[in-house]
């Protein structure tokens, strides 16, 4: 390592940039290593959540203040380091995180006028000394864009690539930002406001190469009720419709709409016809990642007709908390690049479930050959479904993780043991060698006999990790059985997830009399 040149060391240290303990330890090896690590650390120094590092950050940053300001603040009891710096740290800095900076300032100084003065001086210094700001996090109450230095720092901000902000900020703040920064590629928005922020909309519209958009609701229950009591306060539609302008560039969407605290949310949702999200998504045809936590999409014939005609040819990751199985099928039918399908709850019409679930499996088999992570509803126990599922396993040779989600539309809910037997046989016959993780829902139980057969047949493959919420596997006999195959290297992990019995209703009864569950 001592003979490696600086370029090679830089590449190695870059790989460690998310491992703060290893990266910081490299500072102590020698001067040569220290000089190579510092540009990496100081590209975004605010992201390391280490107490002693925050204290060092404060000392270094305030050392850049003018001497007269240092003297003035020192007289008022604010600690200012008088050490000279051997390295110009801020010449490497390309980011400003106001939350972290304000936290550092509040730790090192008492509240009041002088802390406010210190804030202003530090932000002025950062804007002048940092070469080109690539990342800016303004999720803070301090209005940095009101500082006089902003106009002087315009060339530094024009190169901004990533912005994190929240909707409670004054819209005028975003108007100024939109005039200066029009090449932002990543926007992260925390929604704290029940009313639309027009400044956010203008900021989104002003961008010329937006690729990544993340929206997260973060407000209290009172705000939730404000939103859904009156559609005129809707904070979403205006901003989400602005995204359609970026259909040619946008490839990552991550949306989390807060709705879980409202017990009658779905009735409100249907009445207000919240279509801002689903109709926006129809136009974003270049998406590679789509992650949405929101109420279920409306079962609208007009929407589903449009959904049937759209294609997401570049989509690689689809994650949705709840979605109708038919709508999920429409989204993935032309997604030939899909690698990850994370659905946490499938909704369906019980009268159509048999046909819809069969079509869903067939669609994955025909279109998603590259799939690596797959969540699938527990389909009916029929020859057609099992045969189609077996074909899916044989075709999808990259499959690494398989998860089954509960469904309660099967004609006989008391077939859990039979289901486990048939399903384990299919998995043993057809599962690709790459499969290493399986999650079974409460609809699927395995007797000890079936488990032992499954583990015996699994020998020679990579160790399997299994998750289930069936608590009967905690019995002494089954624990010994599982431990036996852990010791032999067949099982990597066997996790029994915690769940509420009340949630599953009568599915949480003891196995019916005469079952072979404990055989």
Query: Which of 2-6, 176-180, 263-267, 430-434 bottoms out in mean pLDDT, i.e. has the lowest?
Result: 263-267
- Structural domain includes residue 25: yes
Residue 31 placed within a domain: yes
pLDDT in tens, 63-84: 888 888 877 777 777 767 677 7
**Is residue 15, in this structure, part of any structural domain at all?**
yes
Token pair listed for 158: 């024009």
User: How confident is residue 102, by pLDDT bands cut at 50, 70 and 90?
Assistant: confident
Average pLDDT over residues 352-359: 94
- Residue 147 pLDDT more than 80? no
* Each residue's pLDDT tens digit, 308-318: 888 999 999 99
273 in Cβ contact with 303 (< 8 Å): no
**pLDDT at residue 272, rounded to an integer:** 46
Q: Tell me, what's the pLDDT at 111?
A: 63
Beta strands in 270-351 (DSSP E): 289-293, 317-320, 323-324, 340-343, 346-347
Q: For position 389, what pLDDT does the model report? A: 97
The band of 500, judged by pLDDT with boundaries at 50, 70 and 90, is very low
Band of pLDDT at residue 514, cut at 50, 70 and 90? very low
| Least confident span in 7-16, 195-204, 367-376, 411-420 | 411-420
pLDDT at residue 15 in the model? 63
pLDDT at 406: 82
pLDDT at 61 over 70: yes
Residue 184 banded pLDDT, cuts 50, 70, 90: very high
Q: Could you tell me if 90 and 130 are in contact, meaning their C-beta atoms sit under 8 angstroms apart?
A: yes
The answer to whether 209 and 183 have CB atoms below 8 angstroms apart is yes
Q: What is the pLDDT of residue 505?
A: 31
Q: Which of 38, 86, 41, 83 is nearest to 59 (CA)?
A: 83
At residue 509, does pLDDT exceed 50? no
User: Residue 32 falls within a domain, yes or no?
Assistant: yes
* pLDDT value of position 408: 62
Between β-strands 437-440 and 401-405, what pairing exists: parallel, antiparallel or unpaired? Answer: parallel
CA 206 and chain centroid, separation? 25
Query: Domain range holding 22?
Result: 1-41
Q: Where are the alpha helices (DSSP H) in 76-158?
A: 98-108, 113-129, 149-152, 154-157
β-partners of residue 82 are none
> pLDDT at residue 434 above 90?
yes
- Average pLDDT score over residue span 340-349: 92
The pLDDT value recorded for residue 264 is 44
With respect to residue 123, please indicate whether it lies within any of the assigned structural domains: no
Q: What is the pLDDT of residues 437-480, one digit of tens each?
A: 999 988 788 888 999 999 999 999 999 999 998 777 888 888 99
Confidence at 517, pLDDT banded by 50, 70, 90: very low
pLDDT at 236 over 50: yes
Looking at the domain assignment, is residue 437 inside a domain? no
Count of domains for the chain: 1
Provide DSSP, 201-261: HHHHHH-SS--EEEEEE---HHHHHHHHH-GGG-SSHHHHHHGGGGTTT--EEEEE---TT
Task: Note whether residue 23 is domain-resident.
Answer: yes
What lies within 8 Å, CB to CB, of 53 at 6+ separation is 20, 24, 45
Residue 512 has a pLDDT of 30
Q: Which pLDDT score, from 0 to 100, does residue 40 have?
A: 82
Mean of pLDDT over the chain: 81
User: pLDDT confidence of 420, banded at 50, 70, 90?
Assistant: confident
- The answer on pLDDT for 12 being more than 70 is no
Query: Per the domain annotation, does 10 fall within a domain?
Result: yes
């Amino acid at each position: 390592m001592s003979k490696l040149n600086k370029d090679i060391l830089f590449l190695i240290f870059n790989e460690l940039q998310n491992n703060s303990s290893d990266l910081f330890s490299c500072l102590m090896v020698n001067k040569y290593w220290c000089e190579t690590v510092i540009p990496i650390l100081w590209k975004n120094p605010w992201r390391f959540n280490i107490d002693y590092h925050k204290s060092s950050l404060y000392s270094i940053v305030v050392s850049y203040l003018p001497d007269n300001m240092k003297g003035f603040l020192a007289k008022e009891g604010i600690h200012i380091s008088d050490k000279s710096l051997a390295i110009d740290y801020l010449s490497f800095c390309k980011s400003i995180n106001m939350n972290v900076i304000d936290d550092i300032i509040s730790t090192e100084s008492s509240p009041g006028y002088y802390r406010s003065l210190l804030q202003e001086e530090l932000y002025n210094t950062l804007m002048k000394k940092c070469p080109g700001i690539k990342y800016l996090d303004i999720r803070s109450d301090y209005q940095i864009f009101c500082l006089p230095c902003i106009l002087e720092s315009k060339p530094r901000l024009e190169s901004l690539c990533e912005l994190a902000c929240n909707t409670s900020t004054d819209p005028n703040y975003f108007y100024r930002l939109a005039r200066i920064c029009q090449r932002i590629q990543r926007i992260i928005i925390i929604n704290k406001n029940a009313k639309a922020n027009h400044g956010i909309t203008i900021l989104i519209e002003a961008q010329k190469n937006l690729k990544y958009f993340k929206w997260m609701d973060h407000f209290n229950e009172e705000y939730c009720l404000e939103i859904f009591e009156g559609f005129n306060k809707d904070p979403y539609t205006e901003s989400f419709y602005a995204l359609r302008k970026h259909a040619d560039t946008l490839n990552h969407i991550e949306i989390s709409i807060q709705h879980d605290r409202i017990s009658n949310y779905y009735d409100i949702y249907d009445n207000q016809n919240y279509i801002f999200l689903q109709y926006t998504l129809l136009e974003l045809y270049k998406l590679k990642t789509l992650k949405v936590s929101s109420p279920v999409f409306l079962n609208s014939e007009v929407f589903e007709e449009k959904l049937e005609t759209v294609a997401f040819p570049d989509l690689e990751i689809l994650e949705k908390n709840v979605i109708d199985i038919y709508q999920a099928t429409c989204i993935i039918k032309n997604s030939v690049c899909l690698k990850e399908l994370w659905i946490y709850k499938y909704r369906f019409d019980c009268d159509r479930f048999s046909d819809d679930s069969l079509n869903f499996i067939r669609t994955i088999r025909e279109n998603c050959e590259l799939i690596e992570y797959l969540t699938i509803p527990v389909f009916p126990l029929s020859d057609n479904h099992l045969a189609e599922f077996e074909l899916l396993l044989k075709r999808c040779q990259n499959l690494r993780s398989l998860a089954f989600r509960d469904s309660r539309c099967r004609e006989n809910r008391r077939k859990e043991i039979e289901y486990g037997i048939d399903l384990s046989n299919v998995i043993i016959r057809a599962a690709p060698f790459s499969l290493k993780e399986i999650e079974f829902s409460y609809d699927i139980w395995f007797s000890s006999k079936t488990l032992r057969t499954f583990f015996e047949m699994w020998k020679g493959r990579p160790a399997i990790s299994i998750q289930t919420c069936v608590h009967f596997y905690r019995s002494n006999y089954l624990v010994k059985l599982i431990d036996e195959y852990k010791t032999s290297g067949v099982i990597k992990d066997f996790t029994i997830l915690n769940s509420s019995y009340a949630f599953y209703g009568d599915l949480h009864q003891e196995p019916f009399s005469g079952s072979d569950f404990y055989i």
